[in-house]
Amino acid sequence: MMINGIGVSPGIAIGKARVIKKQEAAFTGIVLLNDADVMIEIEKFRTAVAISITEVEAMIGNYDPSQGTDGMDILEAHIELLDDPQIREDVTEKIATERKNVNDAVIEVIQNAVAMFKSMDDEYMSARAADVRDIGNRILKNLTPFNTTANQAYDADTIIIAEDLTPSDTITMDITRIVGFATQIGGKTSHAAIIAKSRGIPAVAGCGESLQSINDGDIIILDGQTGTIAVNPDEGIIKQYESQREGWLKELELLRLLKDTQAKTLDGVEIKLFANIADAEEMEYALGFGAQGAGLFRTEFLFLGRNDFPSEDEQFEFYKAVALKSKDKPVIVRTLDIGGDKQLPYFNFPEEQNPFLGYRAIRFCLDRKDIFITQLKAILRASAFGNLKIMFPMIANINEIRAAKAVLEEAKNELINENIDYNKAIKVGVMIEIPSAAVMADLLAKEVDFFSIGTNDLTQYTLAVDRMNEKIKDLYDPFDPGVLRLISNVIEQGHKNNIEVGMCGELASDPRATLLLLGMGLTEFSMSASSIPQVKNRIIRSSLDDARKVYEEVMKMDNSKAIINYCRR
């Protein structure tokens, strides 16, 4: 059987399927018929609770005390909630009196408790809803034995099959044994795609529901270039793909050889090729691909997959590790970009109609100055150990950048008072990802040392296309003439005001766009490490004159199809 999706990370993978199922808390509506069934369901509940408690106790046993006591306290509270007589009584009552099965009873009791906490006007208390939900999910998971979760050990050559993967899924995965990813939803910018690309693992997204027909252990061939997946193919097809895979690996090796080649156009213009990274490990990996720095260090990853906000010291160590690993190459540290589609287990973001237009990134940070200043101090401290720059995300107007800079000054003053060293000349920039910021780049340029164009959100906001929505994903198009004009304006205004301009969105890694962007005057490209060689390959074969011609021609075209066709040549 063949399945078609979107190729989001190139390469050929051949391996065995591991299907990751999300615990969907769905009501079954089953009504118990007799007392024997009631006894069985109550017993199932007891067993699931006992397993859950054992699991959390094991987590307490493995707890690293150097992580502070907060995580430990939360685990102990979870034990008490799992063992809570009120919850037990309510669940038993629903089974015995209302004749619900244990699944439905647990869902209802947990939902009620979550609603109760959420309705409290105290922020701390309403955040406890997450704890109740967490223990509820644990019990539900343990009601069905032998279910697959993302946390299990993988065989070698595993291909992960999932509806979608959250950042915390990917954090807990042992990525070394995974050779491919396939997801039902998502596209080039979904988390699984980003992780796969940064590690050079082939991936296909947006495969749709046909992916559900794949079972654990099925032989899977996945082509991350064309987006094709073959399920249990015959010998002939396997042979054919094996030779393709060898070809791909050779090509990869060839491109790796480009690692130490300077990214210079035929007429001698030096271009900076940076990597987008999430931690020190990825920084090291990126250097292996010849990255000359990091154009986007996403700091969110330290904040995910844990139980509380990381302390200043912990953040400092995390940023310092990247600074040291980069060996004085520039690293642009983006301040916290959470909210929207990136949720934290320990902070309750309000439910929103339009999360991408909502309480997130700099808006959240300016509102929660305590969290913001802690991060800024940690970054400043780490700036004493490498060439770090600070970048604020989601800036929409001049007030936000001024307010963010004021908090940065406060952070600096606190460090001066505490007698702690930092780089006094640290550069400050903004991510240009909101159309208003791109349009008024001339005004913003007066406030900062550099721009970095985030094409993913810029495209989504400019074209009013939710990039996660399957139905309209074709409308999401960074080659749209409207988007390209905004990008061109940002580059032009940046140069007029003598500030650096880089690009850290997906477009920077697309070899079809390389000449066009060069022609606009872009000299700094940041992308997933594995894309650097192919972009470099493009640069070293072109001259700035060629690039300018491409730009001029493209600006005459009125639709992205014509533009892409022209750029592809």
Partner 1 sequence: MISKDYIITSAEGIHARPATALVKLTKNYKSIISIKKGERVVKLNSLLNILSLAAKGGETISIIAEGEDEFVAMEAIEQFFNEHLKDL
Q: CA-based diameter of the chain, in Å?
A: 85
Question: x/- site string to partner 1, residues 401 to 430, per CB under 8 A?
Answer: ------------------------------
Residue with tokens 């793909």: 241
| Contact status: 308 vs partner 1 (CB under 8 A) | no
Q: How far is the CB of 172 from partner 1 (least distance, A)?
A: 24
Amino acid at 55: E
Between helix 481-496 and helix 560-568 the angle, nearest 10°, is: 70
Shorter beta-carbon distance to partner 1: residue 124 or 146: 124
Burial class (CB within 10 angstroms; exposed 0-12, middle 13-18, buried 19+) of 348: middle
Burial class (CB within 10 angstroms; exposed 0-12, middle 13-18, buried 19+) of 24: exposed
Stretch that binds partner 1, among 109-117, 234-242, 398-406, 522-530 (CB under 8 A): 109-117
Q: How far is the CB of 112 from partner 1 (least distance, A)?
A: 10
Q: Are 455 and 505 in contact (CB under 8 A)?
A: yes
Shorter beta-carbon distance to partner 1: residue 113 or 491: 113
Taking the C-alpha atoms of residue 139 and residue 522, their distance in angstroms, rounded to an integer, is: 53
Q: Is 567 a catalytic residue?
A: no
Q: How far is the CB of 62 from partner 1 (least distance, A)?
A: 19
Q: What angle do CA 468, 473, 478 make, to 5 degrees?
A: 100
Residue with tokens 């947006």: 206
DSSP category for residue 260: G
Among 122, 253, 260, 558, binds partner 1 (CB under 8 A): 122
Q: Are 392 and 401 in contact (CB under 8 A)?
A: yes
Q: Are 265 and 539 in contact (CB under 8 A)?
A: yes
Shorter beta-carbon distance to partner 1: residue 39 or 120: 120
Among 120, 156, 406, 472, binds partner 1 (CB under 8 A): 120
Binding-residue total with partner 1 (CB under 8 A) = 20
DSSP category for residue 311: P
Among 124, 153, 353, 425, binds partner 1 (CB under 8 A): 124
Q: How far is the CB of 74 from partner 1 (least distance, A)?
A: 7
Provide the b/e sequence for 530-551 (b: ≥16 CB within 10 Å): bbbbbbbbbbeebebebbeebb
Contacts of 439 (CB under 8 A, 6+ apart): 486, 489
Q: How far is the CB of 303 from partner 1 (least distance, A)?
A: 20
Shorter beta-carbon distance to partner 1: residue 115 or 406: 115
Shorter beta-carbon distance to partner 1: residue 119 or 149: 119
| Contact status: 93 vs partner 1 (CB under 8 A) | no
Shorter beta-carbon distance to partner 1: residue 85 or 236: 85
Q: Which of 78, 191, 365, 567 is catalytic?
A: 191
Stretch that binds partner 1, among 111-119, 389-397, 447-455, 515-523 (CB under 8 A): 111-119
Taking the C-alpha atoms of residue 63 and residue 409, their distance in angstroms, rounded to an integer, is: 37
Q: How far is the CB of 65 from partner 1 (least distance, A)?
A: 16
Stretch that binds partner 1, among 124-132, 163-171, 296-304, 508-516 (CB under 8 A): 124-132
Q: How far is the CB of 460 from partner 1 (least distance, A)?
A: 38
Three-state SS at 440: coil
Among 20, 38, 132, 179, binds partner 1 (CB under 8 A): 132
Taking the C-alpha atoms of residue 506 and residue 525, their distance in angstroms, rounded to an integer, is: 10
DSSP category for residue 6: E
| Contact status: 131 vs partner 1 (CB under 8 A) | yes
Shorter beta-carbon distance to partner 1: residue 131 or 282: 131
DSSP category for residue 329: S
Taking the C-alpha atoms of residue 377 and residue 151, their distance in angstroms, rounded to an integer, is: 34
Residue with tokens 């894309």: 531
Between the two ends of the chain, the Cα-to-Cα distance in Å is 33
Shorter beta-carbon distance to partner 1: residue 59 or 324: 59
Q: Is 504 a catalytic residue?
A: yes
Shorter beta-carbon distance to partner 1: residue 86 or 148: 86
Among 18, 128, 133, 188, binds partner 1 (CB under 8 A): 128
Shorter beta-carbon distance to partner 1: residue 116 or 475: 116
Q: How far is the CB of 77 from partner 1 (least distance, A)?
A: 5
DSSP category for residue 335: P
Among 3, 32, 87, 529, binds partner 1 (CB under 8 A): 87
| Contact status: 146 vs partner 1 (CB under 8 A) | no
Q: How far is the CB of 131 from partner 1 (least distance, A)?
A: 7
Taking the C-alpha atoms of residue 367 and residue 373, their distance in angstroms, rounded to an integer, is: 11
List residues bridging with 445 in a β-sheet.
none
Stretch that binds partner 1, among 119-127, 190-198, 270-278, 340-348 (CB under 8 A): 119-127
**Of the candidates 449, 368, 375, 383, the residue with the CA atom closest to the CA atom of residue 411:** 375
Among 54, 86, 148, 413, binds partner 1 (CB under 8 A): 86
Rounded-to-10 torsion of CA 74, 79, 85, 86: 30
Shorter beta-carbon distance to partner 1: residue 308 or 410: 308
Q: How far is the CB of 330 from partner 1 (least distance, A)?
A: 42
Considering only residues 56 through 85, tell me which ones interact with partner 1, judged by CB under 8 A: 73-74, 76-77, 80-81, 84-85
| Contact status: 117 vs partner 1 (CB under 8 A) | yes
Q: How far is the CB of 431 from partner 1 (least distance, A)?
A: 36
Three-state SS at 49: helix
Tokens for 116, please give them.
């109760």
List residues bridging with 203 in a β-sheet.
9, 181
**Of the candidates 139, 140, 176, the residue with the CA atom closest to the CA atom of residue 155:** 176
Q: Which of 207, 365, 504, 567 is catalytic?
A: 504
Stretch that binds partner 1, among 116-124, 272-280, 284-292, 333-341 (CB under 8 A): 116-124
Ramachandran class of 200: left when φ > 0, alpha when ψ lies in -120 to 50, beta otherwise:
left
Catalytic residues: 191, 504
Binding site residues, partner 1, CB under 8 A:
73-74, 76-77, 80-81, 84-87, 113, 116-117, 120, 122, 124-125, 128, 131-132
